[in-house]
C-alpha cells in the first residue's frame, strides 16, 4: 500500500479535477500525474499551485498517442481513466467518439500492461445499462440485474464496449511480473459546480426567457454529486491495491449514486435554478410516444440524406428515451465492497451547486449588458 503513484486521464475535466484533489490528500501517495489534451487556464493555475509542487505532475497529451501513454504510465502504480467524449446529442462524428472512448481505452490498457501498472479504474456511465425503453421502469436497479444498453448511438455503444474491454483485461499478465487488476464505476447523471451539461441547460434557459427544458413528469433519474463520484474512485484505487479487498473488487462494475432526490431532469434543474429566476416551461409538449416516432423519421431522413449532406436530427430516439424514463440504481454493492458512503449529503451538494448556478446566471447577464452597451 505504501509509496504508490497514480495517473489520472481527463484530469482537467469536470470529474477529473475532483479526483486529483482527493488524491493529493492521500497518505503514502508519492506522485499524481494529471493527463489531458487541454487544460483550461483556471485549472492550469490550480494545478500549478506551489503547494502541489513535487507531488503533482501536469502532462498534456492525446489519449490516442501511444508514445504519450507509454511515457505517462511509466513507473505508475494506478491508472484512473476518466477521459472521454460525452455526446448524448450525437453532435460529433461517430468515428471521433468511438476513437476516443473505445480505442483510447484499449491503447491505455496496452500501455498499462507494458509499464507494469497494477491497478486500472475505469469511469464508465449509467448509459451502458440503458434505458432501452421509456415505457419500462427500473427502480433501484442492481449490478446483478445485468441491464445492458441496446443503443447503437456512439456514446453508449463506445462506453459499453470500453467497459467490457477494461473488465476483460483483469488478470492480464504484466510485462515485468504480476497481473493487472481492473474495475469500473458507473455513475448516474453527474452534477455539481462546473457541470458542462448543467451549464448548457442553464445557458439555454437564459436564452429562452429563463424557461428550462421540461420532460415528462413520469421520468425519474437519480443524479449524483461530482464530489461523491470522485470519492468512489479513491475508494476503488484503495481496494484494488489492498490484497484483502482486491479479490472481490477485481473485474467488477459498480453503480455510483447518493442521497440526491430522485426526480425528472427538468425538475432537478429547476430545484437548482429557481432561486435565480429560472422556471419550468409549462407549455404543452408532444406526447413521448409521438416524440419517439418523430425522432425515428428524423433519423431516417438523416440516413437517406447522408450521400448528399450531413443532416443532424435535433433529437433522437435515444435522447427521447434517456430524458423520459424511470431509471434509478442503488449503490449498495459499492457500499459493501468499497466501503462507499457519500461524503457530501444532498443539502450541502445542493447549496454548492445552487451558488455556482448563480455565478453562471450572473456571468450571462453581464455578458448581455456588455453586448447591449
Active site residues: 155
Q: Helix (H, G, I), strand (E, B), or coil: what is residue 30?
A: strand
Question: What does the block give as the cell for 168?
Answer: 476483460
318: CB partners within 8 A, 6+ apart: 88, 90, 151, 153, 156
Helix (H) or strand (E) holding 212: strand 211-212
> How far apart (Å, rounded) are the C-alpha atoms in residues 191 and 35?
22
Nearest to 117 by CA among 177, 53, 61, 39: 177
360 phi, psi to nearest 5 deg = -65, -45
Is there a contact between 57 and 32 (Cβ–Cβ < 8 Å)? yes
CA 307 to chain centre: 34
Q: How many CB atoms lie within 10 A of CB 362?
A: 11
- Dihedral Cα 41, 100, 130, 248, nearest 10 deg: -90
Which stretches of 125-207 are DSSP H helices? 154-168, 196-206
Q: How many CB atoms lie within 10 A of CB 269?
A: 26
Long-range CB pairs of 213-216 (<8 Å, 24+ gap) are 213/265, 213/266, 213/269, 213/281, 214/266, 214/280, 214/281, 214/282, 214/285, 215/264, 215/265, 215/266, 215/323, 215/324, 216/264, 216/285, 216/288, 216/324
171 cis-preceded (ω within 30 degrees of 0):
no
Amino acid at each position: 500500500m505504501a509509496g504508490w503513484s497514480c495517473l489520472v486521464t481527463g484530469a482537467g475535466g469536470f470529474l477529473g479535477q475532483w479526483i486529483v484533489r482527493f488524491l493529493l490528500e492521500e497518505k503514502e501517495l508519492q506522485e499524481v500525474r494529471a493527463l489531458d489534451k487541454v487544460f483550461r487556464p483556471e485549472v492550469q493555475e490550480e494545478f500549478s499551485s506551489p503547494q502541489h509542487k513535487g507531488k503533482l505532475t501536469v502532462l498534456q497529451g492525446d489519449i490516442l498517442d501511444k508514445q504519450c501513454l507509454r511515457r505517462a504510465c511509466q513507473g505508475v502504480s494506478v491508472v484512473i481513466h476518466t477521459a472521454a467524449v460525452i455526446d448524448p446529442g450525437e453532435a460529433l462524428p461517430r468515428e471521433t467518439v468511438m476513437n476516443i472512448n473505445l480505442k483510447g481505452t484499449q491503447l491505455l490498457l496496452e500501455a498499462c500492461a507494458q509499464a507494469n501498472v497494477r491497478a486500472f479504474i475505469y469511469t464508465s456511465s449509467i448509459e451502458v445499462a440503458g434505458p432501452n425503453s421509456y415505457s419500462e421502469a427500473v427502480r433501484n436497479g442492481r449490478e446483478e440485474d445485468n441491464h445492458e444498453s441496446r443503443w447503437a448511438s456512439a456514446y453508449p455503444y463506445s462506453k459499453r464496449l470500453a467497459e467490457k474491454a477494461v473488465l476483460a483485461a483483469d488478470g492480464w499478465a504484466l510485462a515485468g511480473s504480476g497481473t493487472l487488476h481492473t474495475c469500473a464505476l458507473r455513475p448516474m447523471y453527474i452534477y455539481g459546480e462546473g457541470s458542462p451539461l448543467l451549464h448548457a441547460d442553464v445557458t439555454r434557459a437564459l436564452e429562452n426567457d429563463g424557461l428550462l427544458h421540461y420532460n415528462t413528469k413520469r421520468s425519474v433519474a437519480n443524479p449524483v454529486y461530482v464530489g461523491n463520484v470522485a470519492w468512489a474512485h479513491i475508494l476503488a484505487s484503495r481496494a484494488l491495491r489492498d490484497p484483502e479487498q482486491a479479490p472481490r473488487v477485481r473485474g467488477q462494475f459498480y453503480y455510483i449514486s447518493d442521497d440526491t432526490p430522485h426526480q425528472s431532469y427538468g425538475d432537478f434543474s429547476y430545484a437548482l435554478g429557481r432561486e435565480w429566476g429560472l422556471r419550468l416551461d409549462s407549455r404543452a409538449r408532444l406526447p413521448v410516444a409521438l416524440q419517439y416516432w418523430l425522432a425515428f423519421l428524423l433519423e431516417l431522413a438523416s440516413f437517406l440524406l447522408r450521400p448528399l449532406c450531413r443532416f443532424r436530427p435535433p433529437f433522437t430516439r435515444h435522447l427521447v428515451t434517456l430524458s423520459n424514463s424511470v431509471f434509478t440504481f442503488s449503490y449498495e454493492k459499492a457500499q459493501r465492497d468499497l466501503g462507499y458512503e457519500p461524503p457530501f449529503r444532498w443539502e450541502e451538494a445542493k447549496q454548492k451547486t445552487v451558488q455556482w448556478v448563480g455565478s453562471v446566471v450572473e456571468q450571462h447577464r453581464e455578458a448581455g449588458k456588455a453586448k447591449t452597451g
